[in-house]
Every structure is written in structure tokens, then in C-alpha cells.
Structure 1
Amino acid sequence: MKFTPKTNPELLTPIDYNEIRSLTATMHQQISSGTLDAPSWRLIRNAKLAGRMYAPLGTTMTLGDYVRVVRTFLEAFKLAEAPRTDPSSDGDAPPPAQVAREDMKIVQLGRDLKEYQDLLSSWGIKDDRIRRPLPRPIIVYRVVLRAIWSLVLLTVSLPGLFLWLPIFLTTFVAVHQFKRTGPVWDTYDEIAQYKLTYGLASGLAIWLLAMLATLPVAALTAVLVPAIMWLSLRWMEDAVAAFRALAALTRLLLIGKPALQAMRERREGLHERVMELAVRTLGLPAEPETYFAESGGREKGRVRGRWASKAKYFSVRRRRKRDWNETLRLYDQVDYPEDY
């Protein structure tokens, strides 16, 4: 949002507080439309799982669409668990008994989704591994391929990681010392500033030391050192992703066919109920994989089409993510201990 005296004279003196309240309400609406707000992490966890079941597109759909879909399910789960007031006098409102039945269906769906996600978490796999089953020979082949590829990427990124090591250590020590000044929850903003400041200072020091150590070719070093450091992080991202896939595939082999088959049948039942809630109750599109894949335009991080999915893997600018929740971890974060 951009305001100027020419386009928004109502915000100038004499002050009209009604205009300010209207502007504040508009800003609140825009911010909240892209925010997941719930009284419990459990509801957010269930809504994210329902969103992935409904539209398992990952980064093929826009980030905005993904957030709005998850938020739609979240609002449904919140409303179903919220205490109901007296029936409205509106004649078009459904009978209280019907509303109660719908709420119970949604609440029960949330419980079943939680149990399903708990089982996925105990196995250490994602819903996508259940949705798209693989033959065991293919799993073994991919395990070998991911193991080799992760080792190759880790090996080629080691030289750059040695340059990053002093930066990581400096930042870690600085943040560790700063955390002693107060509660962690009260220092999040300052911690981010500390990481930025000490990371930048130590990074510049490494860059200058590298040029001094190679003074005859300092001009070349000035370009190569940042490039090597950037590429090492880029390769490290792919190495972590490959190892994460390796771990998930290995767990699939250990789980066994009967358990996976039972899990697939369980997922099919949940998927039908999620689609019924999405289409009949929440008014979401009936063909999400077609609708959301085609809606929207170009967006940073979005993958459109099979060719882009393959080509962006080799991009040096940023890693091609498969899921908007993906981070630089060896596991997928789906559990929030505060609720347990």
C-alpha cells in the first residue's frame, strides 16, 4: 500500500478518525488474509495436512493460493470447535441441529487427521509418500541414487563450507552470548540483527583475508571467493534435500507392505472427507490440481510445468523447492511441542 498527499487527502489535517479506522481495518484485513492464526498449533497442523491432501501441488501452486487454502481449512476447524451462541433470527440460517452435526463431522475429521499425521510423524515420512506409492525395487534404486548424489554434493561443497565455518562460529558465539541478556522470546528481533551484523562483519573479514593471502591474484580472488561460498551453500541445500529424501525412502523400506497398504486405505477415506468438506461446505474448487496449477502467474520459487521442474534444479540462484514448507533441515517440521 502506498499513500501520497495527492491520492489520499483524507488522511491529512483536519484529521478524520473514521478514515483512519477504515484504513486500519483494511490493513488488518490484508495482513490477516495471509496469516495463519489459531488458538492451538494442533489446528494449524490439521489444516496444513488437509490443504496438502486437497491440493497436493507443492510449489506448482502459488504461495498465496497455498496459504489461502490452508487458512480456509483452518477457519473451518476453528469455527467447528468454537462455542455456538444463540441461533440467529435470520430465516435462512440452517437449523441448530444441522449446524451441530456439521460441526461434529468437522471436529471428527480434525481428530482423524491428527491421528494420521501422528502416525506419519512416528514413521518419519510425509503424506506424499503415501499418496504416490512406489514399488520396492524403485525405492531401492532411489535410495542408492540419493546416497551417491548427497555424498557428491557434500564433497563438492566442502571447500566453500570451510570458508563459511568462521562465519558460522562467530555468529553462533555472538548469539549465544546475547541470549544471556534476557528471555529468548523477548530477543528474537535482536537475535536476527546480531546474526546479520556479525555474519556480515565476519564474512567481509574472510573475504579480505583471502585476498591478502593471495595478493598477486587478489582481483581474481575477490570474485572467486564469494562465488565459491555462494555455490557451496547452493550445493549444500541440494545435499540436505537429497539426504532427507534418502532417509524417507529408507523408512519406507523398513515399514513394510502391509502397514503401507493399510495407511493408503486410511488416507483414501480421509481424502474423500477432506474433498467433501472443501467442495460442499467451504466452496473450494472441485478440481484443485487443475485449477490451482493454472491460476496465478510467475512467482519467485514457483515451478510451472515439467520442463521448469527439471531445469530449475540446476539453477544457481535458488533451490527448486517441492513444497512451500521445505526448509534446510534433515527432517520435515510438522510437530509443535507447545501443544503436547
Structure 2
Amino acid sequence: MAKGTSTPWPYTLIRLLFRFTLKVFYGTIVVSNTHHIPETGKPCIVCANHSNSLTDALLLVTSVPSNRRNMLRLTAKSTQFGKKTFTSWLIERAGTVPIHRRKDFDGPVDNTQAMTELMKALEAGDAVMMFPEGMSRFHPTIAPLKTGVARLASDVLSQHRDDPDFELHILNCSITYMHRQHWRSDVLVTWHPPMVLRPKDNPELLKPAEPETIRAVTRQIYEQISSGTFDSPSWHLVQLAKLAARMYAPLGTTMSLGDHVKITRTFLEAFKDAHEDNSDDNQPVHPDVVKLTRLQSDLKVYQDRLINYGIKDDRVRHPLSRHDILRRMMIRLFWSSLLLSISIPGLFFWLPVMLVTFYAVHEFKKSGPIFDTFDEIAQYKLVYGLISGICVWIGGVILTLPVAFFTFFLIPAMMWMTLRWMEDCVASTRAFLALFRLLRVGKRTLNEMRSLREGIHRQIMELAISLGLPSDPEEFFSQAGSQEKGRVMGVWQSKAGYFSIRRRRKRDWNETLRLYDKVDYPDDDS
């Protein structure tokens, strides 16, 4: 077996820097099934969905344990190379292979050299990363996959047609962002069992391989990737699926991010099937499709009313008396004020970072339409946040040279604790505002909303059971899995987890570091 290329120091530095930066930008990064990753020395093509530009590659690089793979050989569009920018320096020093895209050039493109580089890496036992969609895009659906990965696999297998023990792994990964460009949102990275190809077992892939064989491998890749993330024809269906999942497993249900994504995806797939059946005018409409269509319509009405009143489903489900609302408002106001006051010193360090990042993103958005810029917003926030954060750290150490030994550690520690306190402060303020809006809604309106919710909830539970989901999600997920899967081992551990230095213990995976809940999405024609 090949030994694989040793890890170059720029790659190690990049992995270290961005592992920290990603943990600052995203609230929770959950990586599942790393045991599926083949070890260094086994030729491997890593494939993933591509919705968040360079951030996708950085997530994969930092999600692969260094004890399993030395490095991932990245690929990126050729227009990213040769520029006097930090991003360009970053991808070049990481050993990234430039790929020429047709949309970036007027005439035909030639990627022969790129394919040769990737084949050399595979021959050495490395893992190469490719995004079969061919481009990053801010859309709810996975784009039709290009056949480049399957053709590369065919070329490699053909070179080893006389080696019966040769194996090529195609390792597929699903990346799911709750809100890809928002600070302190959450990310799920799911690795799937690798597709293991051998010349003796897959002679159909040896040259000259039939086009249908290449397309069949590409379909397999698509099916694995789409099975672990949201793949919808419209943002509208994603929004309804998330609301259905939230009503099925209400606020406070102790479940992992992976379970939350799985439930949301289950509802989404059901809504997609109904959407596709409705769009076929030549087929009679099945009664189940009629039910699903009615459920989607009711969910849309309920979602619009929640947004209009600025309240959460949980407050409709469990109404509070006026006395309880006022008492909770006082507690939230006191807690958010306390957290804000102790965060003020650290906010002086964060202010330059926020200003630089805001300005960079604001200027970048002017460079093109929403569909061509939104997939790179997280990348800009990460890169400019990293640069400005390092400058603040170095500047603070220089200004405190007499005690630089202490401030070298104190400044990043203070910035991290400030971030954690501000997460809790914003969450408390958000809860205070939601309670205030609840007071304004009035009892009569809440009763109407509760009546509407009860009817929708019955439909959701009937659908959930028919889809094979547990009939009592709160009880099921409180018992299922280990502590990492969401089980709370006791009252003390539950309360202490809220104050964890490591990360905020979320009750709602929809949270971001904003004063309002992110429940809306772009128009489907954007």
C-alpha cells in the first residue's frame, strides 16, 4: 500500500487556524461517522455537496482526523489563483489543484493537467477532494452532478487493470448548514460508507467505459450525498419541513443535530413527493397527496401568522398567564443586562473585527446578484474575521508589552468568553422580546392560534407515524443514544450545560447570534 504524501506545514497551519476560526463562527459543528474515512495510503476521492464556496472545503479539511488522513488535496476554480489576496494565498499553499470552468471562459477549457495532478495524488495514496456539482451555488437543491469523478475513477482503475488488489475509494459526504452565512449557526458533516471500486469487481468501469456506466456511478454519488442533507426544489418546502419538524419534536426535546436533520429531511422528502405528484397533470391525484397538500397549506398559514405576531410555536403550544409572562420578562431582562455588562470589556476587542467583517461583506454584496454572491458570504466573514482577529490580538499584545506574557493568553480567552456571554445575552434578549410580543397578541388571538395548531399537529403526527418516526418524540429522544445524542443525564448536568464554556447548550437548532429567529428564506426565484 502507498504511504501517501506527507503533510506540508502550510496545510497543517491552515487546518489549525481554520479549525479554531470555524468553531468561533459556527456554534456547533457535528461530525458524524469519521470511521468511514479510509486511512492514508488508500487512494480516495472525497465528494460533497457544494453550497458555501471555500467554507465547504475548510469544513472538510478540519473534519478529517489527522490520524486517518495526512491531508486532502483540494480543487478550486482557476479564477481563485494568482491573485494578491489572502484567499488566493491560502488555496495555493494548501496544494490546491486549479479547475477551469466553462462559465469562467469564453471558449472551451482544458483540464488535462488538473486531471493528471489528481491521478498522481491518487497513485501516491492520497485523498483528493472534488465537488461534483461543479460550482458553489446558493440554492436549496443539489445541482445535477458532473461526471468528472466517475471518469477520473475509470481512468485510475484502467491504469491498474492488472492489479487485482488495487482499490479506489469514493468517499461521499453531506454538509448541512442550518443557516450557512450566519454567525453561531450550526453545521452537520456526515460521512457515508465509501464506494469501493476494484478492477476485478468493476470491469465495466475500465476503458472504454460506456457513458451509461459513468452516469450510474454519478447517480450513486448523488444518492449518497442527498441522503444526508436537505435537497429541495424550493426554499418554501424547506421552510415548511423545518416547521413540521419543530412541531413534531417541540422546543426542549433533547435531540442531536443529526436527529434534527434526519427528522426535517423525512418531512421534506414527503413534501417533495407530493409536490412532484401535483405537478404531473397526466396522473390522478392520490388521496395521500391531497392530505399532504392540505397540510402544507395549513403550515404556511400558521407560519405566516407566527412571523406576523413575532411569537414562537412553543408559546402557542404552552400558553402562559400574564403574571408568568411578566415574571419571565423581568428574569430575562436582568440576565441579559448582567451578561451585557460583563461583556463590555471584551466587546472592545470584538468591535474592530465586526466592523471590518461587516464592511467587507457589504462591499462584496455589491459585486453581483444574490445567487452569485450569497454562497461566498460565510467565506468572506471567516477570512476577514480571522485576519482582523489576529491583528487585534497582536495589537493588544504590543500595546501591553510590559505584561505581554499574560495578555498573550488573556486577550483570546477574554474574546472567547465574551462571545459565549453574548450568545446567552442575545438569547435572553430574544426571549424577552418574544414575551413582550406575546403580551401584545392577546388571549383571543392565542386561542385561535392554538385551535389552528391542534389541527395541524394532528396531521403532522399522523404523517410522522406513517413515515416511521416515533409516536412520542420527546420520550424517545430523551432515552435514545448517548449523552452526545442529546440525552440529559440529570437535572444538575442539564442546568450546568447551559453555562458551558465550550459552547451554548441549545434547545433550538434554529438559533443564530441574532435578536430575531431566522425562519424566513430567499424567494424561490432569487
Output the TM-score relative to the length of structure 2. 0.57
Q: What one-letter code is carried by the residue in structure 2 that aligns with 1:282? A: L
- Larger RCO: 1 or 2 (CA < 8 Å, sep 6+): 1
Alpha carbons 1:55, 1:288 under 8 Å: kept: yes
Q: What one-letter code is carried by the residue in structure 2 that aligns with 1:112? A: D
Q: Name the residue aligned to 1:291.
A: 476
1:169 to 2:365 alignment = no
State the secondary structure of the residue aligned to 1:315. coil
- Residue 73 of structure 1 and its aligned partner are, at CA, apart by 1.4
Q: Name the residue aligned to 2:273.
A: 79
The equivalent position to 1:245 in structure 2, one of 426, 431, 434, is 431
Q: 1:11 to 1:187 in 2, by over 3 A?
A: farther
- Residue 40 of structure 1 and its aligned partner are, at CA, apart by 2.3
1:118 to 2:304 alignment = yes
1:314 to 2:499 alignment = yes
The equivalent position to 2:256 in structure 1, one of 62, 68, 71, is 62
Q: 1:42 to 1:175 in 2, by over 3 A?
A: closer
Q: Name the residue aligned to 1:28.
A: 222
Distance in 2 separating the partners of 1:102 and 1:174: 49
Distance in 2 separating the partners of 1:58 and 1:65: 14
Distance in 2 separating the partners of 1:295 and 1:48: 21
Q: Name the residue aligned to 1:221.
A: 407
1:273 to 2:467 alignment = no
- Residue 238 of structure 1 and its aligned partner are, at CA, apart by 0.6
Q: 1:285 to 1:140 in 2, by over 3 A?
A: same
Q: Name the residue aligned to 2:290.
A: 104
Q: Name the residue aligned to 2:336.
A: 150
1:304 to 2:339 alignment = no
Alpha carbons 2:237, 2:271 under 8 Å: kept: yes
Distance in 2 separating the partners of 1:198 and 1:339: 30
- Residue 128 of structure 1 and its aligned partner are, at CA, apart by 1.0
Q: 1:28 to 1:297 in 2, by over 3 A?
A: farther
Q: Name the residue aligned to 2:384.
A: 198
Alpha carbons 1:58, 1:323 under 8 Å: kept: yes
- Residue 137 of structure 1 and its aligned partner are, at CA, apart by 1.0
Distance in 2 separating the partners of 1:21 and 1:295: 39
The equivalent position to 1:48 in structure 2, one of 242, 245, 248, is 242
Output the TM-score relative to the length of structure 1. 0.86
Q: Name the residue aligned to 2:345.
A: 159
**Equivalent residues in 2 for 1:319-330, closer than 5 Å:** 319-330=504-515
4+ residue runs of structure 1 moved beyond 6 angstroms? Answer: none
Q: What one-letter code is carried by the residue in structure 2 that aligns with 1:160? A: G
Distance in 2 separating the partners of 1:37 and 1:318: 28
State the secondary structure of the residue aligned to 1:60. coil
Distance in 1 separating the partners of 2:369 and 2:522: 19
Q: Which has the higher strand share?
A: 2
Q: 1:57 to 1:183 in 2, by over 3 A?
A: closer
State the secondary structure of the residue aligned to 1:49. helix
State the secondary structure of the residue aligned to 2:286. helix
The equivalent position to 1:263 in structure 2, one of 449, 460, 476, is 449
Q: 1:252 to 1:192 in 2, by over 3 A?
A: closer
1:236 to 2:422 alignment = yes
Q: Name the residue aligned to 1:2.
A: 37
1:132 to 2:323 alignment = no
Q: What one-letter code is carried by the residue in structure 1 that aligns with 2:382? A: L
Q: What one-letter code is carried by the residue in structure 1 that aligns with 2:355? A: L
Q: Which has the higher helix share?
A: 1
Alpha carbons 2:253, 2:477 under 8 Å: kept: no
Listed one character per residue, the Cα deviations across residues 164-200 of structure 1 (whole Å, up to 9, x for unaligned) are 1112222223333444444453344554444333322
Q: What one-letter code is carried by the residue in structure 2 that aligns with 1:2? A: I
- Residue 11 of structure 1 and its aligned partner are, at CA, apart by 4.8
Distance in 1 separating the partners of 2:390 and 2:356: 12
Alpha carbons 1:58, 1:324 under 8 Å: kept: no
Using the TM superposition, name which of 3-12 and 169-178 deviates more.
3-12
Distance in 2 separating the partners of 1:296 and 1:27: 29
- Residue 249 of structure 1 and its aligned partner are, at CA, apart by 0.7
State the secondary structure of the residue aligned to 1:333. coil
Listed one character per residue, the Cα deviations across residues 64-119 of structure 1 (whole Å, up to 9, x for unaligned) are 221121112122222223234877xxxxxxxx6xx622211111111111111111
Q: Name the residue aligned to 2:84.
A: none
Distance in 2 separating the partners of 1:102 and 1:122: 30
Q: Name the residue aligned to 1:91.
A: none
- Residue 324 of structure 1 and its aligned partner are, at CA, apart by 0.9
Aligned-residue CA RMSD (Å): 2.7
Alpha carbons 1:171, 1:195 under 8 Å: kept: yes
Alpha carbons 2:427, 2:515 under 8 Å: kept: yes
Q: What one-letter code is carried by the residue in structure 1 that aligns with 2:268? A: L
